Amino acid sequence: MNLSSPTWTLAPLIAAAGLPATDLPATPVLDIQSDSRRVRPGSLFVAYRGLEVDGHEHIPAAIAAGAVAVVAERPLEPAAAVPVVLTPNGRAAWAFLEAAWRRFPSRRLRLSGVTGTDGKTTTSTLLHHILTAEGHTVGIVSTLGARVGFQETDTGLHTSTPTPAQMQQLLADMVRSGCDSAVIEATSEGLAQHRLDGCDFDLAVVTNVTSDHLYYHGTREAYLRAKGKLFESLGQGRRSFGLPKVAVLNRDDCSYDHLRALPAERHLSYGSSTGADVVIGGVSEREGHLEAHLHTPWGRAHLRLALVGQYNAWNAAAAVAAACSWRVPLERAAGHCSGFSGVPGRMEFIRQGQPFTVIVDFAHTANALEHALRAVRPITKGQLIVVFGCAGERDVLKRAPMAVAAVTLADHAVFTAEDPRRESLADILAQMETAARGAGAEPGRHYTIEPDRAAAIRVALERARPGDTVILCGKGHEQSMCFGTEERPWDDRRAARQALLDRGFVGTASHP
C-alpha cells in the first residue's frame, strides 16, 4: 500500500491538510520541512513560533535553499517570491500536512491514545499486550520507544510523543507492515504542541491527572485542557472499522467531570467507586503479585498481575475496559493480564544474588513517588531506602512534596541528580533538603545528599542489609542524563548491577 507520494503538488497537498489552497500553482512538492537547515529544492517549509526559536525568522534561508512554498502564521514583509499559505497555527498545520503527505495512515488503524500524569506507559503496554494476545498485529509508540510490527524503533532520548513527521511515518510504517491497530502514549506537551493532530483516534484512555508539568502549562486547568485534547479528538475524526468512539475515564480521579463532559459515542469509567462502569474491588498483594476483582458491564472477572503496587490495578482496569470496548471478551482480556511481565524501568527488580531487594522505577512526580514507596513497603522486611532526584527546569513546585514523601515514607532517602539540565544541581538539592528538614528529617539519619548519581546508588546499596529494599526512582528505562544541554549515557539498572558487582554479588541477572 502506497502511503506517501513523490508526486504531490502544492494545491492538492495544502487542501488535503485542510488549509486554504486557492490560487496556488501546480508546483511539485518533494518533502515537508520545519527546519530551514533541512530544506532542499522542492521543499515545503512550515514556520511557527516555537518555545525558543521563531521559525518565521528562518523563512528567507528556507527560500534561498529552494523552498517552493511557505506555510506561516503571519504575512511576510516584504512579500516572498514563493507562495505563502497563512494559518493561525503552524504546529497544527505541520501535523496535518505530514498526515496528508502519507495519506492519513491512522485511518487504516484502530487507534488508541493513553494519557495521564502517571501510569501511561504501563497502561499503554498492557493494552498492547492484550490486543496482541488476541491475535491482532499492534504497533505502539510510548516513552520506551516504538514497536512497528515486530521491529523495535528508538524515538529519541526523553521522548514520549515524537514530532508530527516521526509520528506519521511510524503510523505509515505500521500500516505497511500489516498492523491493524496501534496504541499511542499521548503526553500533555505532545497534545498541546499539536504533535498528534492528524491522528484519528478511536479510543482515548486517561490514567490520572495530578499537578505535574506546570512548568510548561502554567496552571492545572491548562494542563487538564491539554489532556482533554485527546478526548476532544474523538468527536472530530472519522469512525474506523464500524466501532464507536470510546472514552475510558478514571472515575476516582479529579479529571473525571471535565473529561466526561467531552463528547464521545461511548463513555466507560473505571475505579473503586460504585458509580464506575468497571468497579475495582478486593485488591491485594502477595508474593510479588497483584490481585483484584472487576465488576463490569460484561460480567465479573478475576485480575492477576505479576506487578507490585495497588495503583496497577487501576492501570489494568483501564486497559481491560479499553480492550473490552473493542469486543475482546472480558474473561480473555483479564486473563491475558496474567501473562504481562511488566514494563522495563517500572518496578523492575534487579536480581544479582544479593540478600536485599533492589528495584528501579520511573516515579518522577510526587504522586508517583508516594505510590511507589507505599507499594514496596509491604514487601520490605527491613529498611526502605530510596534514591531519587528532581529534574532541572521542570516543575519546581514538586521538589518539596517529593522530598517530604521520601523522608516520611522511606527509612532513608538519598538525594541526587536527575537531569539537572541548565539549572544548578546544588540549588535543586538545597531545595529538597530544606523541605526534608521542614518535615523534621535529620541529615545522616533520615537522608543523605550525594550529587553524583552513581555514587548515590553505591551509598544506598552499601547501606542495605538483608531484608531491606532499595528503590531507585526517577530514571527508569532512560538511557541518558542531561547536564546543561549535554546528554550523557546513563542507565540506573546498569549502575545498580555494577554497584552490586563491586560488593561481590555476581548471581544471575536479567539484563535490559
**pLDDT tens track for 306-321:** 998 899 999 999 999 9
Asked whether residue 63 is assigned to any structural domain, the reply reads yes
Q: Do 192 and 314 belong to one domain?
A: yes
CATH number at residue 71: 3.40.1390.10
Q: Do 400 and 487 belong to one domain?
A: yes
Q: What is the pLDDT of residues 108-142, one digit of tens each?
A: 999 999 999 889 999 999 999 999 999 999 999 99
Q: d(Cα 152, Cα 180) in Å, to the nearest integer?
A: 17
Among the listed ranges 90-94, 182-186, 226-230, 293-297, which one has the minimum average pLDDT value?
Answer: 226-230
Asked whether residue 509 is assigned to any structural domain, the reply reads no
The per-residue pLDDT of the chain, averaged, comes to: 91
In the chain, what percentage of residues exceed pLDDT 70? 94
Q: Is the pLDDT of residue 499 over 70?
A: yes
Q: Do 208 and 274 belong to one domain?
A: yes
Q: Do 383 and 485 belong to one domain?
A: yes
Domain boundary among 283, 305, 339: 339
Q: Is the pLDDT of residue 373 over 50?
A: yes
pLDDT of amino acid 510: 44
Q: Do 305 and 383 belong to one domain?
A: no
Asked whether residue 44 is assigned to any structural domain, the reply reads yes
Q: Is the pLDDT of residue 511 over 80?
A: no
pLDDT of amino acid 98: 97
Q: Is the pLDDT of residue 19 over 90?
A: yes
pLDDT of amino acid 159: 57
Asked whether residue 507 is assigned to any structural domain, the reply reads no
Residue-wise DSSP of 415-469: E--S--BTS-HHHHHHHHHHHHHHTT--BTTTEEE-SSHHHHHHHHHHH--TT-E
Q: Is the pLDDT of residue 51 over 80?
A: no
Domain boundary among 58, 84, 101: 101
In terms of Cβ atoms closer than 10 Å to its own Cβ (0-12, 13-18, 19+), residue 325 is buried
Which amino acid is residue 54, in one-letter code? D
Asked whether residue 3 is assigned to any structural domain, the reply reads no
Confidence of residue 50 (pLDDT cuts 50, 70, 90): confident
CATH number at residue 309: 3.40.1190.10
Q: Do 301 and 229 belong to one domain?
A: yes
Q: Do 333 and 400 belong to one domain?
A: no
pLDDT of amino acid 4: 55
Asked whether residue 510 is assigned to any structural domain, the reply reads no
* Cβ atoms 127, 322 nearer than 8 A: yes
Domain boundary among 69, 101, 133: 101
pLDDT of amino acid 156: 59
Q: Is the pLDDT of residue 86 over 80?
A: yes
Confidence of residue 212 (pLDDT cuts 50, 70, 90): low
Per-residue pLDDT, averaged over 148-158, amounts to 69
- Alpha helix (H) residue ranges in 115-273: 120-133, 164-176, 188-192, 214-217, 220-232, 256-260
Asked whether residue 317 is assigned to any structural domain, the reply reads yes
Question: Structure pTM?
Answer: 0.87
When divided into structural domains, the chain yields a total of 3
Q: Do 380 and 492 belong to one domain?
A: yes
Asked whether residue 466 is assigned to any structural domain, the reply reads yes
pLDDT of amino acid 217: 57
Q: Do 32 and 117 belong to one domain?
A: no
In terms of Cβ atoms closer than 10 Å to its own Cβ (0-12, 13-18, 19+), residue 451 is middle
Helix (H, G, I), strand (E, B) or coil at 368: helix
* Cβ atoms 285, 371 nearer than 8 A: no
CATH number at residue 399: 3.90.190.20
Sequence-separated (6 or more) residues with CB below 8 Å from residue 210:
117, 118, 365, 366, 367
Domain that holds residue 430: 348-502
Q: What is the pLDDT of residues 347-364, one digit of tens each?
A: 999 999 999 999 999 999
Q: Do 205 and 264 belong to one domain?
A: yes
Q: Do 398 and 487 belong to one domain?
A: yes
pLDDT of amino acid 242: 75
Question: Within 13 Å, how many C-alpha atoms sit on residue 383's CB side?
Answer: 18
For the chain, the residue count is: 512
Q: Do 277 and 421 belong to one domain?
A: no
Dihedral over Cα of 41, 44, 47, 48: its sign: negative
